[in-house]
Structure formats: structure tokens, C-alpha cells
Amino acid sequence: MIRLALVLLAFLSAPFAALGEEVVAGLSQNRISINANFDGSEILVFGAVKRTEPVGDVPPLEVIITVSGPRRPVMVRRKEKLALIWVNRDAVEVDAAPSFYAVATSGKLRNILTDTEDLRHRISPERAVRSVGAPVTITDASKFTDALIRIKTEEGFYTLLEDRVQVREETLFDASIALPANLVEGNYTTRIFLTRGGRVINRYETVIYVQKVGLERFLYNLAHEQPLAYGALSLVIAIAAGWGASALFRYIRS
């Protein structure tokens, strides 16, 4: 029975494999510089599908694009009202949550991607966030992950952009993804998936480099590499600003 099932699966997937479809893609920019005037950016993802055989009687081609920022642990706390005040009660550390995550699709995600493929490639926001090892006292750990995704979505860091990828003649595709102003510095992984009948038939991956430049780069390095010097500089600037404001006030009054 198992051998028969494998043969049947191979037969059903043969039309997709015969096309030999492959992503050929590019980005409008693969490096973003953050300076004092940075107020966000927009990435245009575009490309084409290269194939060895003409398209026959197969399900339509769909495209999914994801952009994921640097991953880091995030502590999620649940508040509970005690008497008249709210206090932190339970806490779960989400092991790896993208600082930014966007998914753009050519159709409704649930219609163009199966749950099995989503689990395998971690495409949806729910799958992209990894949370394991919650305390044994927490019986509803998934709610903490859901809360993190909800908060990130409300803040504009997580977005699901369904029907935003334009696919032309099952060959050309493009989509625009907006990046917020307060980006975290690091590498942003961009993935492109081709799907047919809910199955991923090919994928492409590249990286967008986000880094601070100019004064922002200097202050960032100083704060992380020489915190004492950074603290002293901050104190000097605060004193100078206070003295300057006081002198200006006295000058105006005189």
C-alpha cells in the first residue's frame, strides 16, 4: 500500500515536474541605508518564470513572496488584573521572532498553499515565529505566540498582503512591499515561492542589507562597543543643551 501511494503521488506530481519551472527574480534595491532622514522604504520584487516545457492542463501558477527581518528572542508577558491594578502574571519566551515579516501573495494564502507546505517552508506569520520550550505551567503557550503576532501586526511590523502579487501570463510577476521607518539593522531574507495546486514547485532566496550610516552608525557603534563613552557623551550633550536653552531664555528676556 505504501509503495502504491508513493507511485500515485509521483504520478500526480509529474505534470508539475515536467514543466521544470524556475524563478528568475530581482529587487529594485538590495541595500538600504538608515540615516537621520530615513522614513521608510519600498522594495519592488519582480521576476519571471523560466520553464523547459509549455504550460499544459495544470492548476494555475501562484506566487508567494516573503521578506523577513533579523530573528531574535522575544519575551511575551500576560497581564492579569489584581484588585485595581494590572500585573504581569505569566511569561513565555518566543525563541525566534522576525523583527519584520511581510507576506505578499497572488491569491488567498489558504487557497494557494497547503498546511503541509506551510509547515515545511514556514511561510505564514504563524509558522514564521518559532516558539518552543514554554514552561510546563503554561498550558496555552500558543496564545502567547498569537498575541505577539497580533501586536506586531498592529504596529505595522507584520503584514499579510493577499492578492498583491501581479502574475502576467503565468510568466512575469511583481509586487511592492513597504518597509517601516524604524527598521532593525541586519540582513532581511527575501524568498519567492512558485506554487501549483497548493504545492511549492520552486523557490528563490536573496538578501536585503539594512544598515545605519553617518551619525547614526557612529552613535550605534559607540553605544554597543563603548557604553561608558556613549553615556558620558549623552551627559555632555544634555548639559550643553540645557545651558544653551537657559542662555537663550536670558537673552530673550533681556
CATH of the domain at 133: 2.60.40.3880
pLDDT in tens, 121-165: 999 999 998 876 666 667 777 888 888 999 999 999 999 999 999
The residues near 238 (Cβ < 8 Å, ≥ 6 apart) are: none
Q: Is the pLDDT of residue 8 over 50?
A: no
Domains: count for the chain: 2
Residues 139 and 233 placed together within one structural domain of the fold: no
Percent of residues, the chain, with pLDDT higher than 90: 38
pTM beyond 0.85: no
- Residue 4: pLDDT band with limits 50, 70, 90: very low
| H or E segment and range at residue 235 | helix 227-253
Residues 94 and 157 placed together within one structural domain of the fold: yes
Among 192, 159, 203, residue whose Cα is nearest residue 177? 159
Mean pLDDT of the chain: 80
Mean pLDDT lowest for which of 27-36, 58-67, 186-195, 203-212?
27-36
Per-residue confidence (pLDDT) for residue 83, from 0 to 100: 67
What does the alpha-carbon distance between residue 201 and residue 3 come to, in Å, rounded to a whole number? 23
Domain containing 223 equals 215-254
Please state whether beta strands 85-98 and 71-82 pair in parallel, antiparallel, or not at all (unpaired). antiparallel
Instruction: Yes or no: say if 1 and 152 are a contact pair by the CB < 8 Å rule.
Output: no
